[in-house]
Each structure stands twice: as C-alpha cells, then as structure tokens.
C-alpha cells in the first residue's frame, strides 16, 4: 500500500513529506509557520495524525489549507492504508506538497513507510543531545533532521554539535536545518529546500 | 507476569514506580537529582529502558545506585517479563524503592502493566499544554503527573493551568508535582510523597 501511495504521488507530482518526532517537538508549529509563509506561492495539503483530538487539523484549517485528521485511537503511528484513505478525500491538485504529520513518537513510526518521498525527523533543543543514539531507527530512516527551538538555546545546557555528531553516527547522509518555528530564525533555508525538492520531484 | 512482579515487590516491601514520558522530558535528570538527594536515607534500585545505548544506566551507576539497563531494540516499551529478568539480577533488599524508567514514548507504554504500584507520567513545560488530550491513555493510566522544566517557563508561551485542566479532564484523580530537575525547585514535595508512599506500601 505504501508503493501504491508512492505511485499516486508520482502521477500527480506531489512532493510528500512524513514528519516524525517526539510529542511536543513543535511539528505543528513548524507546519503552521511554513504554510503561512509559503501558501501563497505553493499548493499544500496536510494529513494530521494523533491518537485523539482534531486540534491540529483545526490549527491547519484556520490557515485555509486542505487538511484531513486521522485519529489512531490506541495506535502509535500512521499506516499507509490510513494515508491512502485520507489522500482520496483530499482530491489533490498536481504539483503540490503533501505534509503528513505523524503521531508524536520516536519509535514506532520509523517502521512504517507511508509512501513518502522524504522523511523529516524534528528534534527540539530542549530534548537533549542523545536522542539520535537512543532512538537510532528514526534517525537512520530519515532524510532530513530539523532542529527546532534554537531560540531557547541560551537558556539550556545543550550542545548542538554533539546532537549533530550523534545523528551523523546513525545516519551520515542526514541533512540538517536549524530553526525556530517561534521566531522564524533559520526557516528560509528550509523553504528553499522545499521549493527545490518540489521542482525536482 | 505483571502480577508476579507485583507479588515479588509486595513480599519485599519494594515501592515500585513506572516512569513514563516523551523522549527528552527529563526523566533521567529527574531520577539523578532524586537519587542524589535521597540515596543516603533511602535504598534505591533502578531499571533503565531504552531502544539502544547504556548511557542512562551509566549516569545512574555513577551515583553508585544499583541499576540494570534493558535495551528493547525495535521495541517501543518495557514489558513485565523484561522487568522480571532485571529484578532477579538486582537482588533487591527489602524496604526499597525501585524506579523503572520506561522507553521515552507517550503511547505504547500506557498499555503495559509492569507490576508497578504507581505510574508516574513526566511532562515538560516545553512540550505544550495539549499532550494529555492528544495522548489520553498515558495520562488516564497514570497516578502522578510530574511537570518538569518549570525553570524554563519565563521563556515559553506555556499555560500551566491549562495543562493541568486537560490532564484532569482525562484523569480527575491525577496528583501533580511541579518541579525543575535542573534547579531543584519543587523537588521537596516529590521527595515527601516518595517517603510517605514507601512507608505505606
């Protein structure tokens, strides 16, 4: 079913991202800022995954971006068949970007291919440097690592280079963006990457 | 097997806590400070759960507290049989406290009873207020909620009362402690609770 999703996205030139992270790393805030800044120049669609609530979908819908919420109930991750169902409802136009915000969980989502082109792991500076080596599967299977909440670094005992070293031990090909979804710092490089990838996909 | 663990703990008057949270909420830092402050007056044992690495066990061992690390590999939570194995190795003395630090994950560990007396969910102020309603199982099955990193509140847009309201919606019996494992603020109430519970267990 992941392959079927991939084919569907390819046929329409939909650049699809699977956003994974711990709960509270700021995935939704990052999405909100990205959509706000880019929605006038790019087409976006969003799938939100959570155990419960439609809060995140409501936050995205407030930006007038088409969104589907999937509630997994007892489930700890999205699966490709849930995404396929949501995609059918979204009726996406070609040449768009689909952002899939997975359930906040650094373990289980690593094992489930949704058919995405790129997997993006978000880690916030408040979580400490050691997460890549404690949860290696997630960092190993991701293409991009966004380090969020860099605005809080002056208040933390946190070593950015150590985090990157650990992440590169697990996945030497990982590409990093250092951002604050709150202040907007560092977001431009991420936007440039999104534009480039959409054009190449 | 959870019942067997429970019987084992009862026979020796071991007060057992199952510490659950997102990755990066500060579980290990909280444990370190607790052990450091109380180990001269109380007997402690620790079981550390992580997908990979023995980093956390090394941090605890540095405090000269007996510790067993369990690496779950692809697994996203501890299970009662893993705990039973670790307990056998620890050879615990009666009238002690056993702290089990679960794998950092707000979903899956909620479904697995380890035989603990109390489940303690740790949430940090940097994770936002909505986690109890998005991950209700974890808050519903916990007895105690420790709100960590309160020292960072001046730098965050975070409403402590809203977090508590959400948590109480899911579990009206939840007991709160507001602490900073970094500065030590609020730890005394938590220590007092631990002492009282050990005496009553």
Interchain contact, A51 vs B23, CB within 8 Å: no
Bridge partners of residue A148, in order along the sequence: A124
* A-chain residues near B76 (CB < 8 A): 76, 105, 107-108
Angle, helices B27-38/B187-200, rounded to nearest 10 degrees: 70
Q: With 80 as the cut, is the pLDDT of residue A201 above it? A: no
* B-chain residues near A70 (CB < 8 A): none
User: Reduced to 3 states, what is the DSSP secondary structure of residue A144?
Assistant: strand
* B-chain residues near A105 (CB < 8 A): 76, 105-108
Question: From the CA of B24, how many Å to the nearest CA of chain A?
Answer: 4
Closest partner CB to A53 (pick from B123, B133, B156):
B133
Bridge partners of residue A98, in order along the sequence: A16, A45
Per residue in A72-119, pLDDT (tens digit) is 999 999 999 999 999 999 999 999 999 999 999 999 999 999 999 999
B71, closest residue in chain A (CA to CA): A134
**Residue of A21, A23, A122 to mutate for B, most B C-beta atoms under 10 A:** A23
Interchain contact, A24 vs B131, CB within 8 Å: yes
Average pLDDT value for residue range A20-28: 96
> Residue A41, exposed/middle/buried by CB under 10 A (0-12, 13-18, 19+)?
exposed
- pLDDT for A21: 97
Number of domains, chain A = 1
C-alpha dihedral sign at B51, B55, B61, B65: negative
- pLDDT for A200: 83
Per residue in B34-63, pLDDT (tens digit) is 999 999 999 999 999 999 999 999 999 999
Confidence of residue B200 (pLDDT cuts 50, 70, 90): confident
Q: Please give the structure tokens belonging to residue B13.
A: 């008057």
Q: With 90 as the cut, is the pLDDT of residue B201 above it? A: no
Q: Please give the structure tokens belonging to residue B23.
A: 């990755």
Closest partner CB to B76 (pick from A23, A104, A108):
A108
Q: With 80 as the cut, is the pLDDT of residue B12 above it? A: yes
Q: With 80 as the cut, is the pLDDT of residue B107 above it? A: yes
Task: Give whole-number Cα distances, A184 to A94, A179, B53, B133, in Å.
Answer: 28, 7, 34, 28
- Distance (Å, whole) CA A39 – CA B169: 36
Per residue in A44-53, pLDDT (tens digit) is 999 999 999 9
Scored b (16 or more CB within 10 A) or e, B44-56 reads: bbbbbbbbebeeb
- List strands edge to edge, sheet with B96-101: B67-71, B44-50, B96-101, B14-21, B118-124, B144-148, B175-178
Question: From the CA of A48, how many Å to the nearest CA of chain B?
Answer: 12
Angle, helices A2-12/A80-90, rounded to nearest 10 degrees: 30
Owner of token pair 């602490």? B179
The boundaries of the domain holding residue A92 are 2-200
Q: What's A160's domain CATH number? A: 3.40.50.300
What mean pLDDT is reported for chain A?
96
Q: A with B: how many residue pairs have Cβ under 8 Å apart?
A: 108
B123, closest residue in chain A (CA to CA): A24
- Count the neighbouring beta carbons within 10 Å of the beta carbon of residue A112: 18
Confirm whether the ipTM is greater than 0.85: yes
- Distance (Å, whole) CA B159 – CA B130: 10
């Amino acid at each position: 079913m992941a392959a079927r999703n991939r084919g569907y996205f390819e046929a329409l030139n939909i650049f699809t991202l699977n956003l994974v992270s711990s709960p509270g790393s700021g995935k939704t805030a990052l999405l909100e800022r990205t959509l706000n800044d880019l929605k006038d120049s790019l087409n976006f669609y969003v799938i939100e995954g959570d155990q419960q609530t439609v809060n995140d979908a409501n936050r995205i819908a407030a930006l007038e971006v088409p969104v589907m919420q999937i509630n997994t109930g007892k489930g700890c991750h999205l699966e490709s068949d849930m995404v396929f169902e949501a995609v059918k409802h979204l009726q996406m136009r070609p040449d768009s970007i689909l952002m899939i915000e997975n359930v906040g969980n650094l373990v289980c989502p690593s094992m489930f291919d949704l058919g995405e082109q790129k997997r993006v792991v978000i880690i916030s500076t408040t979580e400490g440097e050691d997460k890549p080596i404690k949860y290696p599967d997630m960092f190993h299977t991701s293409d991009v690592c966004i380090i969020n909440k860099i605005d809080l670094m002056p208040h933390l005992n946190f070593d950015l280079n150590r985090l990157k070293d650990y992440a590169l031990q697990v996945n030497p090909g990982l590409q990093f963006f250092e951002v604050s979804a709150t202040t907007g710092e560092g977001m431009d490089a991420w936007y440039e990457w999104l534009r480039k990838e959409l054009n190449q996909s």
